[in-house]
Structure 1
Amino acid sequence: MIKEDKALTLEIVAGIGIFTGVAMVLALFISPRPAVFAGLILGMVMSLAMFLSMAAVLKLCLKTQSKKFTAVFSVTSSMTRYMIMFAVLLVVIKRYSDLFDPIALVVGIFGVKAGAFLQPVIHRMINRKK
């Protein structure tokens, strides 16, 4: 990875972490149960895995010269990510809802979106300090 890719990746990962931290602080006041915190952490892990998978697929698609491969590979990778996410959510709801709160899990998964939205803010904060 080039330097800019690493910085961008770390900024989005930091955004996911910040989002999860804020969600945990809010959970302290709304519903301070261990299952909620476990759901948020599992959601954060899933959003980190989804983001890193997306970054790897994007990097591979940029390197290849075949438009057909890029289209097919990016779609199949995206569908695989969502199917895995849906399967984990179903397993948590069906078997482990006493350990992991399903709503907190979904909120934690939204960390991937929040990380992308927070990246420019984090980037400006880091560059201001330099």
Structure 2
Amino acid sequence: MKKAKIILKEMIIGLFIWSLPVLVILALAATNKPAVICGVIVGVLSAAGIIFHMYKHLDIALDMDPENARKHTLKSAFQRTFIMAAVLTLSMIWYGYIHPIGVVLGLMGVKMTAYIQPYVHKFLQKKSMLG
């Protein structure tokens, strides 16, 4: 589980690496800058919560027998999907305050951090070897 905790930290770092250019580009391009910035922040915080949820529930499922682990994994995936849909729905209702495009791109960080994580891992390994 120690390795999973390291991967969790690297994924959270990757999420914030993803969010910075998204935040800057949308803030420069948007007409309602506060809503877009809030949208990205809400999306990224939701994505961080989803990543942490995956980490915790993977640990729980690994201690179960295969059938119960499958059921638990499906239930957990449904919970994460429900949270993403709820956050996106709220942003569509209050789009003047939390812009949906920012939320979608923030939530997309869950996917992007899976691609970024190996590079973050390499970078952190080189950094720890040097210093």
TM-score, length-scaled by structure 1: 0.91
Which stretch shows the higher mean deviation, 107-116 or 29-38? 29-38
Conservation of the 8 A alpha-carbon contact between 2:46 and 2:107: yes
1:123 equivalent in structure 2: 121
Q: Does 1:74 align with 2:73?
A: yes
Give SS of 2:98's match: coil
Number of paired residues?
127
2:103 equivalent in structure 1: 105
Work out which structure has the larger RCO, using CA pairs closer than 8 Å and 6 or more positions apart in sequence: 1
CA distance, structure 2, for counterparts of residue 71 and residue 5 of structure 1:
19
Output the aligned Cα RMSD.
Answer: 1.3
CA distance, structure 1, for counterparts of residue 101 and residue 27 of structure 2:
15
List alignment gaps of at least 5 residues for structure 2. none
2:44 equivalent in structure 1: 44
Give SS of 2:96's match: coil
CA distance, structure 2, for counterparts of residue 86 and residue 28 of structure 1:
24
Give SS of 1:43's match: helix
Deviation at 1:103, TM superposition (A): 1.0
List alignment gaps of at least 5 residues for structure 1. none
Give SS of 1:98's match: coil
Runs of 4+ in 1 over 4 A off after TM superposition: none
Q: What letter corresponds to residue 59 of structure 2 in structure 1? A: K
Q: What letter corresponds to residue 44 of structure 1 in structure 2? A: V
Q: What letter corresponds to residue 45 of structure 1 in structure 2? A: L
